[in-house]
Amino acid sequence: MSFDRRKLLKGFAAVGAGAAASALPAEASPPKPEVPPDAFGMLYDATRCIGCRACVTACKNANGLPGNLYDPPEDLSGDTKNIIKVYDHGKTDESYVKAQCMHCLDPACARACMIGALQKREFGIVTYDPERCIGCRYCQVACPYEIPKFQWDTPTPVIVKCELCHHRISKETGKPMPACCEVCPREAVISGDYRELLAEAERRIAENPERYWPAGSPKIYGKTDGGGTQVLYLAAVDFEKLGLPELGEAPAGYEAAEIQHTVYQGFIAPVALYGLLGAVLWKNRRSAEKKEEE
Amino acid sequence: MAQHEALPVGGPLMTRPFKLLLGFLFFWAILLIYRFAVGIGPVSGLSDGYPWGIWIAFDVVTGTALACGGYAVAILCYILNKGKYHPLVRPAILTSALGYSLAGLSIIIDVGRPWLIHRIPLRFHIWNHSSALLEVALCVMAYTGVLWLELAPAFLEKYKDSPKVGAMARAGLAFFDKAMIWIVAMGLLLPTMHQSSLGTVMLIAGWKLHPLWASPVIPLLFLISCVGMGYAVVVAESSLSSHVFRTEAESGMLTKLATPMAIVLGLFLLLRFADVLFRGEFGLMFSSGLLSLMFWLENLLMFWSIFLLSGHRRERFSNIASAALLMILSGALYRFDAYIVAYDPGPGWSYFPSLAEVLITLGIVVLEVAAYIVIVKTFPILTGRAPADH
Ligand code: SF4
Ligand code: SF4
Ligand code: SF4
């Protein structure tokens, strides 16, 4: 076995080991995403929601999506960005829950999307640009909340998801005006600066600790879950029952990006491997030619 | 290379079976027109819960792994410098080139907005470097081109004595003779990158992918098993085509593939089990119901394959052929599990491919077979002489 070949096998091994090793230290310290300085968000308090679905209609109107109140949608879909669902298991174990994009601090959908059709932009809003979308649906595989929806029944589909009404910017404040929050009669869903919303959620818990889940030390879902989200939730029942998964504090599926970054950092490993491969091939060919001459 | 000369198989093209293939492809084309007219929903079993089905898991992920024959043989031939495998190179590269081209076609069928696909390679200033899928897309596109370049001499050789274009063909051959090293090096680099990334792709699914598959070493497992599947396909294809076209069988050569095949398989199994044990997911091998079953099925098929490849059993070609089929099955199953079976988006969702979806996939396979037949009959790909009357 020639010297070069051994070097090459080492090269292969390095790429592989890099891929494997990258995940190991990562497990010890998953990335902690930062909150953008201008982060804007929503706070949904399930204990205040009366299930009137005014927000569902308002969302449809504000986004030009088809549908009406008399035939309410049952789930998010290619023409529904916002939904109120019912969780009903008896008098003490029931709740409404609103579902829309969580505007993650480190969104898996944006990490997945090949040329950035989904991106975290102003106000930390995760936006969608159909001009960059090829409809691969990898964002659907990636999102831990099953939020992005695809239009299955048209030859020219787009991805549909809440963009925090970033097309409705207030002239006075210069900030978005989420339509769903404007119409809520009970302030069950409100919008505002992320930091203020977090303070408001804490204030509500301090005022009525017995109202929220879990008893003893109520939880604000989204504060750290999945790396943190700009949409925050309060509820009287276990969030998992409401369809908000137990994610831990690491951003969902971050290992994939970590491996990509480690192995392909600066594109050094692939270029080095290419050079090495070329060298070995060249050497092998030379030796083959020599043999033929003899 | 002179000692094993590749020759066109020759013979009439429009045989009865070939006409049947063409007939099927005609209906397939109509089905495709329907797919592009109405969207993906009506023709497939896909949904927001299962956005990827067999078009991705089989046509692209398994299809390109099966198309790794060119890669796997090139490692032996050019890196480990085992020249004896050389007659296997051309047919392997041809199946690879066809396999990758048709995986590309599958992607066009599968994505919702295919008219924007060209933006992926062209808009390099907005590439998302975190996206494993981006790397797969770019590498697959590039590698398809590289494979056809690797095959170009086969096409040029046919015309090298022609009075009209002979000079051009000879110039082309001389060029490829010089450049081939760098093309082959590309052909080794690109699959190393994207076959592993095909595993990374699914890691982003987080809690939706079962822990027996969602492992940080999944890229390495995908890479190793694609090499194994590559060898297996070379064995299967070579014995099949020598049978069908009655060329000289390469069984002597194929028997020698037993050793590298067994090594690759052993490596895979070692890593697969070591990984599950190291991550402390031992219990899941038994407590996950259907998924535990799938896990064992994948790995037992592979154990069985190694068994057939070891000891004196490998001296019989039929054992090697069976081992190859088992390996293909096991590798395909591993990919299906990682992309579909072990992917669970939660209650309320289910996926089963629709008839139209299956037919579209079948059409891809038929198109590949038809193209293979045309090319080996017309161009010097296979070694060994065929009877002229076939
Ligand atoms: S909830 Fe899903 S779609 Fe919304 S930002 Fe997070 S990952 Fe993206
Ligand atoms: S479907 Fe569109 S938005 Fe979603 S990942 Fe693919 S390209 Fe990005
Ligand atoms: S912020 Fe706008 S798009 Fe999002 S749920 Fe509310 S109304 Fe709908």
Q: What is the pLDDT of residues A211-262, one digit of tens each?
A: 999 999 999 999 999 999 999 999 999 999 999 999 999 999 898 888 988 8
The whole-angstrom distance between residue B263's C-alpha and the CA centroid of its chain comes to 20
Distance A76 CA to ligand 2 centre (A): 17
> How many other CB atoms are found less than 10 A from the CB of residue B106?
23
Provide mean pLDDT across the span A131-147. 97
In this complex, which of B78, B113, B217 lies closest to A157 when CB atoms are compared? Answer: B113
pLDDT at B13 over 90: no
Q: Please check whether residue A242 is in contact with residue A87, taking contact to mean a CB–CB distance below 8 angstroms.
A: yes
Contact criterion met (CB < 8 Å) for A146 and B346: yes
- Residue A53 forms part of a structural domain: yes
**Interchain contact, A134 vs B116, CB within 8 Å:** yes
> Chain B window 84-113: which residues touch A at a Cβ cutoff of 8 Å?
110-113
Closest by Cβ to B181, choosing from A19, A116, A281: A281
**Cβ distance B191 to A15 under 8 Å?**
no
The pLDDT value given to residue B310: 87
**Residues A75-88 pLDDT 10s:** 999 999 999 999 98
The two tokens of residue A4 are: 């070069």
Residue A3 lies in a domain: no
Q: What are phi and psi of B132, to 5 degrees?
A: -65, -30
Q: Average pLDDT, whole number, for chain B?
A: 91
* Domain CATH number, residue A121: 3.30.70.20
Asked if residue A290 belongs to a domain, the reply is: no
Q: Please state the rounded mean pLDDT for residues B370-385.
A: 86
Please report whether residue A66 resides in a domain.
yes
List the single range of B156-165, B297-306, B332-341 with lowest mean pLDDT. Answer: B156-165
Restricting to B residues 114-173, those with a Cβ less than 8 Å away from any Cβ of A are 114, 116-117, 119-120, 123, 126-135, 137
Q: How many CB pairs under 8 A join A and B?
A: 205
Beta strands in B268-335 (DSSP E): none
B306 vs A291 pLDDT, higher one: B306
A118 in any annotated domain: yes
pLDDT at A143 exceeding the cut of 90:
yes
Contacts of A56 (CB under 8 A, 6+ apart): A69, A72, A73, A80, A82, A83, A84, A180
- Summarised one tens digit per residue, pLDDT across range A88-120 is 888 778 999 999 999 999 999 999 999 999 999
Query: Going by C-beta distance under 8 Å and a sequence separation of 6 or more, which residues neighbour residue B214?
Result: B202, B203, B205, B206, B342
Average pLDDT over residues B244-273: 84
What percent of chain A has pLDDT above 90?
71
* pLDDT interval class at B240 (50, 70, 90): confident
When divided into structural domains, chain A yields a total of: 1
pLDDT band (50, 70, 90) for residue A3 = very low
A6 inside domain: no
Q: Residue B331 pLDDT more than 80? A: yes
Report pLDDT for A15. Answer: 54
Which single residue is written with the structure tokens 């109140």? A69
A56, A62 Cβ separation under 8 angstroms: no
What confidence tier does B390 reach under pLDDT thresholds 50, 70, 90? very low
CB contacts under 8 A, A 14-33 vs B, are 15-16, 19-20, 22-24, 26-27
Sort out which chain B residues have CB atoms less than 8 A from A277's CB and list them: 79, 185, 188-189
Pairing outcome for strands A40-45 and A231-234: parallel
Q: What Rg value do the Cα atoms of chain B yield, rounded?
A: 21
- Which class for A171: exposed (0-12), middle (13-18), buried (19 or more C-beta within 10 A)? exposed
- For the beta carbon of residue B21, count every other beta carbon within 10 angstroms: 16
Domains of chain B: 16-378 (1.20.1630.10)
Q: Which residue of A has its CA nearest to B139?
A: A270
In sequence order, what DSSP letters do the residues of A161-202 get, joined into one string?
Answer: ---TTTT-B-TTTSSB--HHHHH-TTSSEEEEEHHHHHHHHH
- Most confident range, picked from A101-115, B88-102, B308-322: A101-115
Confirm or reject contact between B206 and chain A (CB < 8 A): yes
What residues of chain B lie within 8 A of the CB of A27, using their CB? 216
A10 occurs within a structural domain:
no
Helices B218-244/B89-110 angle, 10° precision: 120
| Polymer length of chain A | 294
Q: Which domain holds residue A219?
A: 32-253
Instruction: Tell me, yes or no, if A271 comes closer than 8 A to chain B by beta carbon.
Output: no
What is the structure's pLDDT at A14?
54
Which residue does chain B place closest to A289, by CA atoms? B1
List Cβ neighbours of B313 (8 Å cut-off, separation of 6 or more).
B307, B319
Asked whether A18 and A25 are in contact (CB, 8 A), the reply is no
Residues A55-64 have pLDDT tens digits of: 999 999 999 9
| A130 φ/ψ sector (left φ>0, alpha ψ -120 to 50, else beta) | alpha
Contact (CB, 8 A) for B131 and A113: yes
A245/B contact by beta carbon, under 8 A:
yes
Query: Does the pLDDT value for residue B380 go beyond 80?
Result: yes
Residue A133 within a domain: yes
Provide the percentage of residues in chain B whose pLDDT is more than 70: 96
- Residue A222's pLDDT is 97
For residue B37, which residues of chain A lie inside 8 Å, CB to CB?
155
| Ramachandran class of A243: left when φ > 0, alpha when ψ lies in -120 to 50, beta otherwise | left
Query: How many other C-beta atoms are found inside a 10 Å radius of the C-beta of residue A265?
Result: 12
Evaluate: CB of A161 within 6 angstroms of ligand 1: yes
Q: Is the CB of A166 under 6 A from ligand 3?
A: no
Query: In percent, how much of chain A has pLDDT > 70?
Result: 89
- Asked if residues B143 and B100 have their Cβ atoms less than 8 Å apart, the reply is yes
Q: What angle do CA A103, A104, A108 make, to 5 degrees?
A: 115
**What would the pLDDT profile of A13-29 be if each residue is shown by its tens digit?**
555 555 544 444 445 57
Q: Report whether pLDDT(B1) > 50.
A: no
Q: Which amino acid is at A102?
A: M
Overall average pLDDT of the B101-126 stretch: 96
Residue B2 has pLDDT above 50, yes or no: no
Asked if B8 and B379 touch (Cβ cutoff 8 Å), the reply is: yes
At A90 the pLDDT is: 82
The answer to whether residue B195 scores a pLDDT higher than 60 is yes
Q: Are B94 and B149 in contact (CB under 8 A)?
A: no
Q: Confidence band (pLDDT; 50, 70, 90) for A74?
A: confident
Provide the mean pLDDT of chain A.
89
Mean pLDDT computed over B316-325: 89
Name the burial class of residue B176, with classes exposed (0-12), middle (13-18) and buried (19+) by CB atoms within 10 angstroms of its CB.
middle
**Any idea how long chain B is?**
390
Residue B313 has pLDDT above 70, yes or no: yes
Query: Taking 90 as the threshold, does the pLDDT of residue A10 lie above it?
Result: no
pLDDT of residue A28: 53
The answer to whether the CB atoms of B133 and A140 lie below 8 A apart is no
- Beta-carbon neighbour count of residue B232 at 10 Å? 31
Q: How far is the CA of A209 from the centre of ligand 3 (A)?
A: 28
Report the C-alpha gap between A164 and A174 in whole angstroms.
14
Q: Which residue of A has its CA nearest to B271?
A: A20
The rounded distance, in Å, linking the Cα atoms of A254 and B205 is 9
Query: What is the model's pLDDT at position B249?
Result: 62
Q: Residue B103 pLDDT more than 90?
A: yes
